Amino acid sequence: MLILTNIVKTDRIIEADYSPENSGKTAHVSIDLTNDKENATALDEFGTMYSRMAINGLRRTLKELEKGEIAEVPKNRKVMWY
């Protein structure tokens, strides 16, 4: 599990900070909406799995906006997987 915080979307980018499982550590992820380029900072002790899941959380937020499932970008979001 991780928490996305400070989620911000503009016409060009969606970005957030993420924190893995009560670690107290934070990193940053973003997606450039003009070219779909992902930018993710991985935390060394967690590898790339958490940054990948953080990107997936941003993509899910975008999809929910497009489908009208949510009206606006949430400030925070919990991302869970099994």
The domains of the chain are located at: 2-79
pTM of the model: 0.93
**Residue-wise burial string across 24-45, b where 16 or more C-beta atoms lie within 10 A, e elsewhere:** eeebebbbeeeeeeeebeebee
Identify the pLDDT of residue 67: 97
Q: Split the chain (82 residues) into runs of 10 and give each run's mean pLDDT.
A: 97 97 93 97 90 96 96 96 85
Identify the pLDDT of residue 70: 96
Identify the pLDDT of residue 47: 85
